[in-house]
């Protein structure tokens, strides 16, 4: 009799659950977390754990207030907290990081309906929120291994403390004087997760091999950025290493592999993903070269997030065998 029972579709079920995908992404972030902890000391690790906890707590409170099912177990809040922390400088005061996490979860995600309904990436939006709100603390980068030179307990101090005098420096994207190998390994100043390109690439490849993310977006993003840099080098007559320098410095790597591949806020189709990636690359290039800010990665991803519904509409596919929908009559 069991064979005759008819159930409605879908009939093919995958073992990939939301929870599992989130756990895979967190696993892929482990190399970056480790690299951040090695370069920026115990405070970086504290900040990451703190952000994850605050994000999960905010999710819990929001769900309780809105009388919705508790969604904390799907791991998305934890991932948002970790991703946000990786986008922050290691010495950011904890209360500012907490405000960022609350903003990401409560305002960007839950006010718009929770996971799957948010129009912009919560971690990116919260980073921009903090950058515009507390700009000086958000752009005070400590030098790698600063904690070896800092006085005892100085390693736990936040930005602005006397214990950190002389240990901060500008991001290599602004100064342009770091070696390529240093940039690749991550031995430069910057936010916790963005400095080590090696760790990000390991995590990114893991996600691509396990088919959690599609390689289309990172390739289109990094490809279009390098192409534009290449043209710029040809026009201005600089050295070709500038192209590599642009790819390895700043937040492009982290953005391309972990932010621009978010399921909710990026296009569904492969064609859409490529358009999204190219858009991010072009905007990043334009902001870096022609705007007053040194880094444009987060702004470019947020802008493309807003365009995602239109890209999806433009690249909509037809089911196999279906007739093309007739064009709407012009009025």
Partner 1 sequence: MKLMNEFTKGILKENPVFVSLLGMCPTLAVTTGAFNGIGMGLSTTFVLICSNLVICLLRKVIPAQVKLPCYIVIIATFVTLIQFLLHGFVPSLYTSLGAFLELITVNCIILGRAEMFACKNGPVASVLDGAGMGLGFTLALFLMGSVREILGSGTWLGITIPGMTGHTMSLFVMPAGGFFVLGILIAVVCKLSNRKPPKKLGCAGCPNAHACSAKCEETNA
Angle 315-221-203 (CA atoms, 0-180°, nearest 5)? 110
| Min dist. Cβ of residue 96 to partner 1 (A) | 9
Stretch of 125-133, 164-172, 206-214, 243-251 lying at the interface with partner 1 (CB under 8 A): 125-133
Stretch of 16-24, 58-66, 133-141, 315-323 lying at the interface with partner 1 (CB under 8 A): 133-141
Which of 26, 98, 99, 208 is close enough to bind partner 1 by CB under 8 A? 99
Q: Take residue 59 and report the two structure tokens written for it.
A: 């999710």
Cα separation, 305 vs 260, whole angstroms: 9
User: Is 134 a residue that touches partner 1 (CB under 8 A)?
Assistant: yes
Cα separation, 289 vs 307, whole angstroms: 22
Of residues 199, 160, 259, the one with CA closest to residue 36: 199
Contact by Cβ (8 Å): 303, 255: no
User: Is 119 a residue that touches partner 1 (CB under 8 A)?
Assistant: no
Cα separation, 172 vs 245, whole angstroms: 9
User: Is 98 a residue that touches partner 1 (CB under 8 A)?
Assistant: no
Q: Which is nearer to partner 1, 15 or 136 (CB)?
A: 136
User: Is 61 a residue that touches partner 1 (CB under 8 A)?
Assistant: no
Q: Which residues does 325 contact at the CB level (< 8 Å), separation at least 6?
A: 318
| Min dist. Cβ of residue 132 to partner 1 (A) | 4
Q: Which is nearer to partner 1, 57 or 129 (CB)?
A: 129
Cα separation, 134 vs 28, whole angstroms: 29
By CB under 8 A, the residues from 153 to 172 that bind partner 1 are 160
Q: Which is nearer to partner 1, 135 or 176 (CB)?
A: 135
User: Is 129 a residue that touches partner 1 (CB under 8 A)?
Assistant: yes
By CB under 8 A, the residues from 219 to 248 that bind partner 1 are none
| Min dist. Cβ of residue 33 to partner 1 (A) | 27
| Min dist. Cβ of residue 252 to partner 1 (A) | 24
Stretch of 77-85, 129-137, 279-287, 312-320 lying at the interface with partner 1 (CB under 8 A): 129-137
Stretch of 26-34, 130-138, 192-200, 276-284 lying at the interface with partner 1 (CB under 8 A): 130-138
| Min dist. Cβ of residue 63 to partner 1 (A) | 18
Q: Take residue 290 and report the two structure tokens written for it.
A: 């022609």
In the chain the first and final C-alpha atoms are separated, in Å, by: 56
3-state secondary structure 81-142: HHHHHHCCCCCCCHHHHHHHHHHHHHHHHHHHCCCCCCCCCHHHHHHHHHHHHCHHHHCCEE
Q: Which is nearer to partner 1, 140 or 224 (CB)?
A: 140
| Min dist. Cβ of residue 103 to partner 1 (A) | 10
User: Is 132 a residue that touches partner 1 (CB under 8 A)?
Assistant: yes
| Min dist. Cβ of residue 133 to partner 1 (A) | 4
Give the three-class secondary structure for 242. Answer: helix
Q: Which residue has the tokens 């507390």?
A: 134
| Min dist. Cβ of residue 134 to partner 1 (A) | 6
Cα separation, 225 vs 214, whole angstroms: 18
User: Is 67 a residue that touches partner 1 (CB under 8 A)?
Assistant: no
- How far is CA 89 from each of CA 171, 189, 239, 274, rounded to the nearest angstrom? 10, 9, 30, 30
| Min dist. Cβ of residue 131 to partner 1 (A) | 9
User: Is 135 a residue that touches partner 1 (CB under 8 A)?
Assistant: yes
Segment holding 222, helix H or strand E: helix 216-236
Contact residues for partner 1, defined by CB under 8 A = 95, 99, 129, 132-135, 160
């Amino acid at each position: 009799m069991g064979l005759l029972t008819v159930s409605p579709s879908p009939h093919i079920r995958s073992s990939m659950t939301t929870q599992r995908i989130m756990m895979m992404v967190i696993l892929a972030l482990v190399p970056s977390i480790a690299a951040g902890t090695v370069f920026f000391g115990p405070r970086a690790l504290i900040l990451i754990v703190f952000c994850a906890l605050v994000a999960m707590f905010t999710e819990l409170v929001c769900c309780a207030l809105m009388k919705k099912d508790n969604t904390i177990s799907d791991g998305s809040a934890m991932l948002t907290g970790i991703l946000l922390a990786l986008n922050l400088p290691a010495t950011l005061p904890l209360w500012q990081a907490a405000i960022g996490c609350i903003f990401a979860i409560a305002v960007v995600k839950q006010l718009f309906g929770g996971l799957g309904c948010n129009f912009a990436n919560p971690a990116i939006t919260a980073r921009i929120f903090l950058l515009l709100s507390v700009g000086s603390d958000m752009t005070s980068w400590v030098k790698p291994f600063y904690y070896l030179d800092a006085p005892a307990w100085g390693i736990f101090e936040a930005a602005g403390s006397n214990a950190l005098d002389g240990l901060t420096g500008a991001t290599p994207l602004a100064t342009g004087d770091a070696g390529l190998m240093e940039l690749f390994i991550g031995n430069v100043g910057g936010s916790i997760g963005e400095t080590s390109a090696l760790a990000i690439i390991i995590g990114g490849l893991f996600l691509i091999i396990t088919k959690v993310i599609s390689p289309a977006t990172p390739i289109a993003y990094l490809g279009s950025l390098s192409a534009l840099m290449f043209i710029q080098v040809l026009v201005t007559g600089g050295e070709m290493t500038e192209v590599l320098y642009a790819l390895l410095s700043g937040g492009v790597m982290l953005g391309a592999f972990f932010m621009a591949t978010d399921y909710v806020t990026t296009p569904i189709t492969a064609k859409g993903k490529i358009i999204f990636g190219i858009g991010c690359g072009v905007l990043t290039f334009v902001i870096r070269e022609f705007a007053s800010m040194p880094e444009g990665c987060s702004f470019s991803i947020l802008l493309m997030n807003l365009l995602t519904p239109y890209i999806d509409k433009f690249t909509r596919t037809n089911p196999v065998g279906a007739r093309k929908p007739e064009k709407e009559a012009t009025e």
